[in-house]
Structure 1
């Protein structure tokens, strides 16, 4: 039975060869015996010691730096030992096995994914939003995402959330104290300016939600699917956006048989652009499978770029494609190959509600406008305040809190004011906010969050 009380050990550096490799140990009990067995001497806390790491027979496994962090002054809040040696996979596995052998009497086991950070959360070294930001910093795919993750990791986002929660608690305190004196309920809202206080909290929550949404865009990116008939230039457009030849381009219809995914960054926002097989009727079995996969990708898209060919008359097939596109997914109609026609001669009919942009994948004309439009669809605002790298659950919690505050405002506006309902909505809003930092979080939620971390972190 796995327990948070067990001593744990793991290789904390990425798999493969490298100049440096780290093995990390964390335990509630002191690690003096393990340190003596591995290193043959005691360590001065928080001092780097260069010395050999030894096997059970006294032979040298490796030489490197050993660091000891006694509790509670460590990453996990427990006693921590870090062994920094050479980054070869064989030597690191030997060192890991030696730690397990020397720590057998303590009950040492291999760490689960994210278990070191989970223990940091459980031991109040960081809150849940900060712990999630650790994984987001590791996984950041752009400089902007890394900066936002670092801000969240240092507690900036949590401080904003906690500040709002504290203001709600103060208002709850006043309300619930008034409930004990019913004769004062009528005067409460005016006496303590409760409506104005609530409105200010709502305004600040809306601002935080806007920043969190920006951060969610940075974290998740935008899933963009290029769709259209064969040979309209989908692969050429992908290559133009990527800045290199990510997809094969030929004049032969049906060249692209399966999806090609390429991540690009626009103003620091990651876009996952998917080139797909051309949509048409075909008897070719392999191409038909590719077309089925294209429709599957279209169903998962955040935005669909429906590519048209400026040189082709007759929009019948494009109209058939448009009729099958998901009705709630934003669609950009992009007319390619405008360098091959004269101005004003683009003869494609425009679908109702779709935005149309002329481009040339070959010359680059119109690409900047296309990039700006994709960012606008994503909801990205480059002039907004620096975002926090938020997750979907953070957005959901903020929205839930906003909804409860809106209901509370409704109760405050009624002529027959019901302060107990007002207080209940404040309580629910407070609970939603504190779920972000982990004050009210189930074990199941923690298991899901930390299982997605890398081992050793």
Structure 2
């Protein structure tokens, strides 16, 4: 077992609520289901609670120290294994949220554990969720969704994380894996009986089955790529000449005065980053220094940082002043990465007598009046490839996308073998096996212990 994975033979405890003052504080325990610890768990409950609490029923408890003095007055809940979050015996004390009170509860718990000869220790980050995964209460994609749900920055992204936690993503991964396994079984059976190999590909409709698998894979990959954007957010960078209204547009989209707005050219000399949500999708909008030739050393440094921001962007908004006649080619000046999408936005259209008729890929807006801002939001999501808002999708991580891409590469190789005759069925079967293994990395069925330990170490304490 890797050192990054903690020992599962110990009982663990942690304060499960955030640091600071609060109306309610939770101390959570999890006890492994060995015969010895199960007996010690009963003794612990009798001393900690005064009696064995009824399963899944909130019971009032006045917790007292070794001298009988009250520590806190709250509720205790017992969840017998395996019907608990971790799959082990779980006990929760819900008391008042002061840190001094919760620390006193923890101290009393360790005293009682020593009296019961119970090996109790502080839980590591993510260890409760890790035990739920190791006890088959959650797969790895669902376990990761627990952390994503805690970190969600909007109601919509919380819904996407909750969808992953409920198994929406995992069910699609498992369904794809089942289709691959079905085709693998047919192949393996044929390889066991060589005399039956003749025209296998036609008789089993292997090519048709593989096309169905590839179609399902491509759809799942597209959804997972959107799920990554929901989780990690997008970086949208505003570029343009001085005084075209970049800072005004940032303020308009943010709904507050984030950046200083001034008629003086070169007011913005450094990057200004603002976290936003557009239709529930998190993004970081970056206002940059205006692009122009300047002798000001500080402004030149700001312009150089603009170029660095462009290299990190998911989308570039090229802002131009619709009220002027000069419009230099800023895209050529910036030397954009080839794959970076860009949108030309004409600001200050409120100063024109007539709304301009713009070609595809360009929009007219007014940061001052709000004209065109809703259309701009829709186009931003469209250009970064998000077809719907997160409440209709699920949360995903980059490692999930990477695993799906590996799976797709093996499926494509299997398709190439399928175009040949039955003499290479063993190679066909091997590519399907590798594709199936790649899917197992998503749900945790094929992941090494060191990577599992790293994933769970990034969770918060008590979860």
TM-score between the two structures when normalised by the length of structure 1: 0.90
The CA deviation string for residues 163-190 of structure 1, in whole angstroms up to 9 with x for no partner, is 2212211211111121122232122122
CA distance in structure 2 between the partners assigned to 1:211 and 1:328 by the alignment: 20
The CA deviation string for residues 408-435 of structure 1, in whole angstroms up to 9 with x for no partner, is 1221111464100010011011111121
CA distance in structure 2 between the partners assigned to 1:251 and 1:56 by the alignment: 71
CA distance in structure 2 between the partners assigned to 1:357 and 1:15 by the alignment: 46
* Residue 251 of structure 1, CA deviation: 2.3
Q: Which residue of the partner structure matches residue 334 of structure 2?
A: 323
Q: Which residue of the partner structure matches residue 23 of structure 2?
A: 19
Partner SS state of residue 238, structure 2: strand
In structure 2, the gaps of 5 or more residues are none
CA distance in structure 2 between the partners assigned to 1:142 and 1:383 by the alignment: 12
Of the structure 1 ranges 279-288 and 219-228, higher mean CA displacement relative to structure 2 is found in 279-288
Q: Which residue of the partner structure matches residue 455 of structure 1?
A: 461
* Residue 61 of structure 1, CA deviation: 1.7
Task: Give the 5 Å matches for 1:69-218.
Answer: 69-104=79-114, 105-218=117-230
CA distance in structure 2 between the partners assigned to 1:324 and 1:427 by the alignment: 43
* Residue 32 of structure 1, CA deviation: 2.6
**Root-mean-square deviation (Å):** 2.7
Does residue 253 (structure 1) correspond to residue 265 (structure 2)? The answer is yes
* Residue 259 of structure 1, CA deviation: 3.1
CA distance in structure 2 between the partners assigned to 1:294 and 1:232 by the alignment: 15
Of the structure 1 ranges 299-308 and 248-257, higher mean CA displacement relative to structure 2 is found in 248-257
Q: Which residue of the partner structure matches residue 396 of structure 1?
A: 402
Q: Which residue of the partner structure matches residue 386 of structure 2?
A: 380
Partner SS state of residue 24, structure 2: strand
Q: Could you tell me which of 40, 45, 50 is aligned with 1:35?
A: 45
CA distance in structure 2 between the partners assigned to 1:218 and 1:294 by the alignment: 25
Partner SS state of residue 121, structure 1: helix
Q: Could you tell me which of 367, 390, 393 is aligned with 1:361?
A: 367
CA distance in structure 2 between the partners assigned to 1:82 and 1:32 by the alignment: 14
Q: Could you tell me which of 5, 9, 29 is aligned with 1:5?
A: 9
Task: Give the 5 Å matches for 1:297-376.
Answer: 297-316=309-328, 319=330, 322-343=333-354, 355-376=361-382
C-alpha contact (below 8 Å) 1:407/1:425 kept by paired residues: yes
Of the structure 1 ranges 201-210 and 77-86, higher mean CA displacement relative to structure 2 is found in 201-210
In structure 1, the gaps of 5 or more residues are none
TM-score between the two structures when normalised by the length of structure 2: 0.89
* Residue 202 of structure 1, CA deviation: 1.9
Does residue 56 (structure 1) correspond to residue 66 (structure 2)? The answer is yes
Q: 1:345 to 1:133 in 2, by over 3 A?
A: closer
Q: 1:186 to 1:274 in 2, by over 3 A?
A: same
* Residue 287 of structure 1, CA deviation: 4.5
CA distance in structure 2 between the partners assigned to 1:72 and 1:260 by the alignment: 51
Does residue 226 (structure 1) correspond to residue 257 (structure 2)? The answer is no
Q: 1:173 to 1:329 in 2, by over 3 A?
A: same
CA distance in structure 2 between the partners assigned to 1:192 and 1:379 by the alignment: 37
CA distance in structure 2 between the partners assigned to 1:437 and 1:319 by the alignment: 45
Of the structure 1 ranges 410-419 and 290-299, higher mean CA displacement relative to structure 2 is found in 290-299
C-alpha contact (below 8 Å) 1:211/1:386 kept by paired residues: no
CA distance in structure 1 between the partners assigned to 2:425 and 2:86 by the alignment: 44
Q: 1:341 to 1:116 in 2, by over 3 A?
A: same
* Residue 82 of structure 1, CA deviation: 0.5
CA distance in structure 2 between the partners assigned to 1:321 and 1:87 by the alignment: 58
Of the structure 1 ranges 36-45 and 20-29, higher mean CA displacement relative to structure 2 is found in 36-45
Q: 1:286 to 1:57 in 2, by over 3 A?
A: farther
* Residue 24 of structure 1, CA deviation: 0.7
Q: Could you tell me which of 44, 53, 66 is aligned with 2:76?
A: 66
C-alpha contact (below 8 Å) 2:199/2:422 kept by paired residues: no
Q: Could you tell me which of 264, 278, 298 is aligned with 2:290?
A: 278
Partner SS state of residue 186, structure 1: coil
CA distance in structure 2 between the partners assigned to 1:367 and 1:127 by the alignment: 41
Q: 1:99 to 1:226 in 2, by over 3 A?
A: farther
Equivalent residue pairs, number: 451
Of the structure 1 ranges 78-87 and 1-10, higher mean CA displacement relative to structure 2 is found in 1-10
C-alpha contact (below 8 Å) 2:160/2:390 kept by paired residues: no
C-alpha contact (below 8 Å) 2:280/2:389 kept by paired residues: no
CA distance in structure 1 between the partners assigned to 2:213 and 2:291 by the alignment: 51
Q: 1:255 to 1:86 in 2, by over 3 A?
A: farther
* Residue 299 of structure 1, CA deviation: 2.1
Partner SS state of residue 418, structure 1: helix
* Residue 120 of structure 1, CA deviation: 0.4
